[in-house]
Each structure stands twice: as C-alpha cells, then as structure tokens.
Amino acid sequence: MADIEDLLGRMSLREKAGQLSLRLHGWTAVDRAGDDHVLTGAFHAEAERCAGLGGLYGVFRSDAWSGRGWHNGILPERRAEVAALVGEAGRRSSRHGIAPLLVEEAPHGHQSLGQTLFPVNLAAAAAWDPDLVEECAAAMGAELRAAGVHLALISGLDLLRDPRWGRSEECFGEDPRLAAELTAAQVRGLAAAGVGAVIKHFAAQGEGSGGRNGHSAVIGPHDLAELHLPAALAGIEAGAVGVMAAYNDIDGVPCCANPDLLTGLLRDRWGFDGVVVGDGLAIDRLAGQTGSLRAAARAALVAGVDVSLWDTAYTLLEDLVTDEPELVEAVDRSCRRVLRLKQRYGLLPGPADPRPEPIVVRDAASLSRALAARSLILLDDPAGVLPVRGRTRTEPVEVPDTTVPRPLRQAQDDASTSSGNVDGTFLVAVAGPNADSVTAMLGDYVPPLRPGDGQTVREALGAHWTVGDEDAVERADLVVCVLGGTSHRAYSEEFADNGAAGEATAANCGEGVDLSDLELPGDQVDWLRGIRARARGPVISVVITGRPHVLTEVIKLSDATVLAFYPGPYGAGAIADLLTGAAEPTGRLPVTLPSATGVVPVRYNDRLDSTRSYVDRPDPVLRPFGSGLGLRTVGVSRLAAARIADGIEVEVGLHHDHETAVPEVLQVYGKRLGGPFWPRQRELLAFRRVEVPPGGQTYRFVIMESDAFAGPDSTTVIMVGDRTVEISATSSCPAPR
C-alpha cells in the first residue's frame, strides 16, 4: 500500500494541482475509430498539462450535450476496455504511476449507452420505499463498476421547495426526512457494489428565489439546518465519499466559497473526510464576485473545495501558490484527500484497499419496473372508474357544462354489458401530447435509448384493449388522455456552458428550464375540455411530468386522474397495469400540489397555515403532501404514544375488511409545540410501506428525542390520518422491562 505522505512529499506543485482538476469533458478523451477506440489529442494535452490526471468526468456520457449517441459513443460491450485504456494511459502520464478517477453522472441510471434507466428521484420519492431504492442503486452500481467507474454523481440533497424550478425532478420531494432516508439508501446501494457516491448539491439549492436555478437561498441558519442539511448528513453517515458544492449562495455567500459550510460544518462538526467537488464551472463563476479567476480559485480552495469540475480557475493554482506560498498547505490538504480516495480504488502504486466483492442483485430492469409501478399516484377517482376490467359501456350523456365531470360508466364488471361499437369491441381512445412518447417518461440526464427500445402508453394499452386515436373519441368506450411535459432535449439544440438546456429548448422541465406558469404546457387544458365534451365514455387523465403542475382543471375534467413523475422506460407498462387492475396504485405525493401558480411556494411543513391567505384562492392546496388513493381503503383503528428514555414510542393500528392484504404507506406526523421556534404545521416523523393483513395489524415506531420534541418542556401532537394524540417531553417513562 502506498505511503500517501511519502508520495505527497515527492510530488511537484504542478502534479498536486493536477490531481485537483476534472477539467476535461471526458467524452472528448476517446474517439471511436471503426471497431477500435483511440485516445484523442485533448486527452494527451490534459495529461501533459496536469503531469498526470486527477480524474475524468463523463468518459461514457452520451446525450444531446455531449453529442455522443449510438453512432459515435462508447458501446456497452466496450466500456470496460475503454476504462482500462484511459486508466493505463493516465497512469503512464504520471511519473508516480497515479491513475485517474473515472467519474460519471448517475442520477437515475448511468448516463451512458445501454445502461438501465430508473424512474427519476421525484418518482422514487413517490414510492416511499427506501429498501427498493437501495436495491435499484445497487443494481446501478453493479453496472457502473462493471464499466470501470469509481465515482457516481447522484442527486438527492435538494428539497423541492418551489415547483417552478426546472430541476424539481431531481429532488426526493419537499420533506427532509424522506429525502434523508432515500439519499442514504442510494449511497448504501452504490457502496455495496463498490462504487463511491458523490452526493449533490450542498446546500439549499432547492430554496432558490422564485424557483430560479442557482439563485440565492434566502433562508436562516435554523431552517437551513432543519430542512436542507439532514439529507447531506444522512448520506455522509451512509458512506458517501464526496459532496458536491451547489451553485447557489446562502445569504450572499456562494456555497463553493463558504468556509463555514464546507469546513466548519462539513469537516469540523460532521467529521467528513471525503472530497468536496465544485459543480460544473461554479468556481469560474465566482470571478463575478472576486474580480478574477485567480481570486476565484483562491476563494474556493480556502473554503474547502478539493476538486474543480471543468473550471479554468483551478488551472491557475500552480501560479497562485507560487505567489502565495502559504496556500501550499491548502493544496496539500486537498491533494491528500484525493490520494486517499484513489488508494481505495486501487489507483495508486502498490496494492489497493480491498473493495467489496461484486454483489448479486435482482435484474436491473425488473427493479426499474417495480419502482415505476410503486411510484404511480392515483389523485382522483370519485366514482370508482379504476380499475377498468372487461367490457365497459357508458351511455351518451348530455353535459352542458364541460368543466364538470359527468356520470361515469355503468356496471364496469358486468361482462354482459355491450359495447357501442358495431363489432362489439371494447374500444379505448388514447390521445394527448405524451401518448406516443417514450422520451417523455425518461427525465433529464439520460442517454438515448437503443432504436426501438421503450414502449409508449398507447402501445402498452394496446396489449390489453383495442386502441384508437383522437379520432375515435366519440365512439370509444373509454378515453385515456396522456398529458404532461418532457425533459427531453434534442441533439439539434444548443446548451448552456454547463450542459443545462439552452433558451430554445423544446423541453419544459429539467436543468435550465424554470417556469413562471405551472399550468400544463401549451393548450392541454383547453384540449382536454374539448375531449371531455366529445367523449361518451369515461375520461381518464394520466399526467407524466417532472414537477408538480397545477392540475385543478385536469381533475375537474377527468373521471380519474393518475400522476406519474417521469417513471422511466418501463413506465408505460406500469401505467397499463394500474388502469387494467393488474397492479394497485400505492404511490403517495412527496410534494404538495398547488391549486394555482400564484400560491407557490406552498409546502405542507410551512410554519403557518396557507388556507385563506389569498382572498381569490382560499384553498391553495389541491392535494396535500403524503396523499394518494388506493383501490381499497385502510383505516386507523388505534393511535397511542408513550414516553421512553430516548424519545417516544408510537403504536398505530390499521384495519380493513378486505379478504387479502392491502398495501399502504403508513405516515406518522408531529407538530412540536413549546420550543423556541414557531412550530411547523406538520413534520414527517416516520413512515413505512406495509402490507396490512386481513383484519388489521399494529405497527410500532420509535421517534428519537431530537426529532420528537422542540425542547425539554415541550409537547408534541402525533398525527396519523385523522387521529391525534398529545405527549409531553416531561411525561414519565415506564419502568425498564
């Protein structure tokens, strides 16, 4: 095993600075030449400039920004070979035999050709299933490791505090506990596969003013700690090896030049010993504050940024330290962290630290399919349209006011019910902007699928029913309207310098696509109103999106409404299973759905009730956080709380009258009273996906002291469903048993 201090002592300033740079776009390092891959002049120039390579970002990245696709990108079967080519060339370029780290984007699947794509984080949050998320991350990690990748950049630290933000889809919702548990699950899954997680973005990026990407987080230290830090701490405790500093500032101090955040909190208080990475070009952007790139590099380095991504500023470190020798200690500190990380992955001379043995995971595609199924949310089904089984018949009904749903179909399960079509076929009209789109289900940060891969909603429903298009609406027994948006970015588009969508993008969600209006894009609501007027059968709306849109009119105009946050390439099959009854809807909202654009931001854990705040919109919440319908109802039969030594124990009894187990997401909330801060309306204290057996079952939770109470003399109101119980921090504890 290499002696890092000895190695550090033998390295030149240029070599040390080179270890702190991920400047080269990795996809420009290798070209396909027929059946072979060759290193480019850009690779050799960067290796020479750095006297070795700290790492390469995105060697395998394939998407519209990189310009790599199936015609010119690195094919799946050649990835390990290319990783070895790059690694050995990088090692040879270093006189000390130090190989580069290979770093890849993997927010919901490795962003490279042929890898398994998963539902976006917002969909994963809607599933409320940390165990399944961990399995998906392990499967993703296994694919990354097989490709020779060391580090995966994963989102999860951002809270969705304003749905106008284009990066809403990358969040695990608006609640810090849900985000913390899912972030930790992702980190553990990757670690089990031997891949290091770099968690992003640190911190409070989801708090950007007005939902504008990268803008100031106007937030105090208490809310910062209570809302935006739990996911980061959970990820670090789960084993994250890196943290990416965010673009935004907090109270005017940029995150990537914030010593209190990156050193005082992250290092000194939390004891984090991994690497801090600046987001793409974030350090260069500091020049707008500091006045020069050299000053920008100094500010980031002193604050605690170890590794720069694409910046020019860190290429100036050698000259900077030559002029300011006292900064050599900061360079050594960061270089030491990078070398320790490289030692873990066998990139230094000598034997490597033992990496975990390859794990055996379920088929990645089946995991993606399972997560998609659990993420779908049934928002509304007032007369029980779902599931649609057998032949369905709705007699034509005159509906003068097309803004009000008309009576629904009759006797759905009566097989003798006849169809209105001449040949007796049960006909389903499938229409809408996302009815024939595979890419609309994938989200941002995705590679192109193989030609012919993926399935549209129309195709998935066609496996069950006879399907027509919009021309069949008047004679169809059922109309399925597939609405929403897309984060798909075409290869013909232009991009910002950090890969975010450019101004002329056709996408209406994703990085660089912030919106001022949360109504569905285009004229979708007017179009749906027209469909409603023409349809003689029930109308089911399926909304595929990456953010919480205003769905007030959609729900009014539909007999049932399903919300699908980008569910991935297997989402169409999951939607078909839900509509046909092959699967039950079990997704629950990880965000608050607003009733109008003008009410946002509105969150369930705000400190004051938003109801009646606006005289023109007395109820700003269309659907609350945590809500969602199932096909069968589960009730709360008992709620009790008892003081224990280190917190409180909560018992919840659930019951139902069905003959088989019913899936449910059990959520325990609290309102903490009596502390020094104005209490939030509700806070998620615990949750669990359960299968409630016939007759019911009791579930127990232990809520830790720090989560349960706001202070030593405070009280907490525990809430499950419509039941509440109050418990005091001064309540006596039962004697030990």
Per residue in 7-30, pLDDT (tens digit) is 999 999 999 999 999 999 999 999
Q: What's the CA gap between 203 and 262, in Å, rounded?
A: 10
Q: What's the CA gap between 481 and 216, in Å, rounded?
A: 38
Q: Is the pLDDT of residue 416 over 60?
A: no
Q: What order do you get walking across the sheet with 635-644 strand by strand? A: 635-644, 647-655, 697-704
pLDDT band with cut points at 50, 70 and 90 for residue 565:
very high
Cα of 465 vs its chain's centroid, Å: 33
Residue type at position 659: E
Please write the tens of the pLDDT for every residue from 308-330.
Answer: 999 999 999 999 999 999 999 99
pLDDT of residue 389: 76
Please write the tens of the pLDDT for every residue from 589-617.
Answer: 999 999 999 999 999 999 999 888 898 99
pLDDT of residue 412: 35
Q: Is the pLDDT of residue 396 over 80?
A: no
Q: What's the CA gap between 132 and 189, in Å, rounded?
A: 10
The average pLDDT across 85-93 equals 97
pLDDT of residue 415: 29
pLDDT of residue 715: 95
Please write the tens of the pLDDT for every residue from 686-715.
Answer: 999 999 999 999 999 999 999 999 999 999
The answer to which of 79-93, 246-260, 500-514 has the lowest mean pLDDT is 500-514
Which pair of structure tokens corresponds to residue 400? 């003068």
Q: Is the pLDDT of residue 390 over 60?
A: no
**492 or 350, which is more confident?**
492
Q: What's the CA gap between 334 and 342, in Å, rounded?
A: 13
pLDDT of residue 425: 82
Which residues in 162-241 belong to E strands, given as ranges?
A: 196-202
pTM of the predicted model over 0.75: yes
Please write the tens of the pLDDT for every residue from 157-197.
Answer: 999 999 999 999 999 999 999 999 999 999 999 999 999 99
Residue type at position 345: Y
pLDDT band with cut points at 50, 70 and 90 for residue 356:
low
Q: Is the pLDDT of residue 377 over 60?
A: yes
Q: How far apart are the first and last CA of the chain?
A: 50
Percent of the residues in the chain that have a pLDDT greater than 90, as a whole number: 88
Domains and CATH numbers, the chain: 4-364 (3.20.20.300), 376-591 (3.40.50.1700), 635-728 (2.60.40.10)
Please write the tens of the pLDDT for every residue from 268-318.
Answer: 999 999 999 999 999 999 999 999 999 999 999 999 999 999 999 999 999
Q: Is the pLDDT of residue 404 over 90?
A: no
pLDDT of residue 623: 98
Average confidence score pLDDT of the chain: 92
Cα angle vertex 377, ends 718, 546, to 5°?
105
pLDDT band with cut points at 50, 70 and 90 for residue 354:
low
The average pLDDT across 35-51 equals 95
pLDDT of residue 350: 76
